[in-house]
Structure 1
């Protein structure tokens, strides 16, 4: 039986390879940065979520080291048993103040936060209305909940209103709209001003996953709700991208919501607390972000320059203002060939293809960060031109 089981898995793996969908991991041998090293090769890094360039910031490293000296290496427990330190509550309170909510609750990752948020709040009498491009973690979190599910076409406000009407006509007790603040494969911003208006019209709650915005979108980097000038009822986010690039997620919301999460959220109740080093660095990261207007300015200047350079070369880009700049290649094999050639030319990128994006929508998702210099960007543009010609993407 085991032989047949492993044989079936091997056939599946061979099919993934034959379809050109095989993913590989490259081993980085130094710190994450604008330039990094894979083996013995230095490369320009265009594929990390390190938007503000904080992943190797000395202040974060010092905070992490000091926390290990003072608070130890790990918690060896879940929060409600003996896994909560003063640092955890300090970070939760500071995040809440930064984001404009009553309180926050920490998780191992935002995937866990999104897995946790729906099930304790909504039951079979309720409804969740989800954007069709929402992150996999939102989709999985909704599957764990017994609420009735509706899905609306990406950023289609007429379709969202139709689903809100349907939920109310179906007798939903409570309705929640769930959306990414930024759709990470495309760099599109959710239409939060319009979504908030519809939520208010139909007495619905608004939940926003803000992983690809916290720290650099909106005033003081407070995220897409601040960027749109609205208040989201529930915000989930991460410390693993612009906020230092380590690990850790959170839910920010009103006090009753957070209190219920502490009592009922399964990924919280059955997972170890975040290690002190990560929590202390998160506290320092908020300080850097709140003082980070120069970093945000540089990030968006880099984004404008990079997008204009790629368009001038003739690449097909998805439109947008976000530091995620997808280069559309449509074919999975071509995306991998292009990424491989760019690596040979000293640029680190990843090809994205099914199941991460729909079939026929393969791309190289480039990402800007504030630590990239103009020389880095010019060198990367030259590499893209060469790789594009070598692989037949550019004529």
Structure 2
């Protein structure tokens, strides 16, 4: 490192805690948006302008105002899309819609949205299955052969960077009684050259699938989205008419959507830089002997093992100016504690090399590598 590091903000590559500086590999503004004060000022000014409101949020009376959702479903490889104010509202309405139509919900135990009240209150129509246990899914389907099932999974599980076993899922999805609800968590929803997410991971998206996602951790006052064939979206829209409130995204959020989608598909897109930084850090860690989980997401879990050793590693990194994430039980299984590293587009190669040197130094001291 030459000279003092630049502090972009509390979410930038270097952050200040008290009188100390830390290289931030704990997440935050991974696309470098909110850390740029000039961008934030211009962005908020544009959101207040009349020009950006030329694409208002979808209303039942004016079905021509679908520019942001149309752009979104093109990117995600689906036929139709809707935007919602927030992810919890989306999943509650989606689960209610499915239960109302007699679906049995089969939910992966590591599915991030299992904390919403409707899913947490388990009944005979909602079953939690062990993580990636497709044998359990098959048993449920065989035991209730006359029922319709909605299987709730997500593309990449952030705590492990483990990709959903797509081939097994595609095999199960061949049944006319199975509907796939695939959640793109904020990091894997950015995969691909233009933020295609799941579409960039598999060649053919099953017809009976629904893609749900959110940019909540990336954009201020962000939205959530659902993209699927018309055969599913149309009945869902009909249900929304009966809601006592409007759950769909505001004009402000749709303005963000339109700008963000165009940004990701422009020459200024930060996705290549994010991918390059993540791939470089992942490759160099593996070369140094670390047990790195996953192989492509911008979230990089480093397996340590026992809880005490992981805590020592975490504290050692802090002493060496590296801020990371410590993941212990019950977030991860017993004996599989890990450090989660999240690079951003704000990190230079010098930043990443600084981190790699410190990670190697502390790990060797503790006998991790």
Q: TM-score, normalised by structure 1?
A: 0.74
Q: What is the Cα deviation at residue 151 of structure 1?
A: 4.4
Q: What is the Cα deviation at residue 59 of structure 1?
A: 5.2
Kindly tell me: are residues 46 and 112 of structure 1, through their superposed partners in 2, closer, same or farther at Cα, counting changes over 3 Å?
farther
CA distance in 2, matches of 1:331, 1:292: 44
- Aligned counterpart for 2:279 among listed residues 296, 301, 304: 304
Preserved contact between residue 183 and residue 213 of structure 2 (Cα < 8 Å) = yes
How many residues of Structure 1 are paired with residues of Structure 2 in the alignment?
A: 356
Kindly tell me: are residues 272 and 198 of structure 1, through their superposed partners in 2, closer, same or farther at Cα, counting changes over 3 Å?
closer
Q: What is the Cα deviation at residue 351 of structure 1?
A: 0.9
Superposed counterparts of 1:115-154, under 5 Å? 115-123=92-100, 125-137=102-114, 141-143=118-120, 148-154=125-131
State yes or no: 1:235 paired with 2:235: no
- Aligned counterpart for 1:166 among listed residues 119, 124, 143: 143
CA distance in 2, matches of 1:146, 1:118: 13
1:65 corresponds in structure 2 to: 45
2:166 corresponds in structure 1 to: 192
Q: What is the Cα deviation at residue 389 of structure 1?
A: 4.6
Secondary structure class of the residue paired with 1:161: helix
State yes or no: 1:217 paired with 2:194: no
Preserved contact between residue 153 and residue 160 of structure 1 (Cα < 8 Å) = no
The root-mean-square deviation of aligned C-alpha atoms, in Å, is 3.9
- Structure 1 unpaired stretches of 5+: 1-27, 73-77
Secondary structure class of the residue paired with 1:122: helix
Kindly tell me: are residues 322 and 306 of structure 1, through their superposed partners in 2, closer, same or farther at Cα, counting changes over 3 Å?
same
Superposed counterparts of 1:279-358, under 5 Å? 279-291=254-266, 295-358=270-333
1:7 corresponds in structure 2 to: none
CA distance in 1, matches of 2:287, 2:305: 20
CA distance in 1, matches of 2:281, 2:71: 34
Q: What is the Cα deviation at residue 199 of structure 1?
A: 0.7
2:363 corresponds in structure 1 to: 388
Q: What is the Cα deviation at residue 42 of structure 1?
A: 3.7
2:23 corresponds in structure 1 to: 44
- Structure 2 unpaired stretches of 5+: 1-6
Secondary structure class of the residue paired with 1:220: coil
Kindly tell me: are residues 179 and 273 of structure 1, through their superposed partners in 2, closer, same or farther at Cα, counting changes over 3 Å?
closer
- Aligned counterpart for 2:81 among listed residues 97, 104, 110: 104
2:227 corresponds in structure 1 to: 252
Of Structure 1 and Structure 2, which has the larger fraction of its residues in helix? 1
Preserved contact between residue 274 and residue 344 of structure 2 (Cα < 8 Å) = yes
CA distance in 1, matches of 2:196, 2:29: 16
Q: What is the Cα deviation at residue 327 of structure 1?
A: 1.5
- Aligned counterpart for 1:208 among listed residues 150, 163, 182: 182
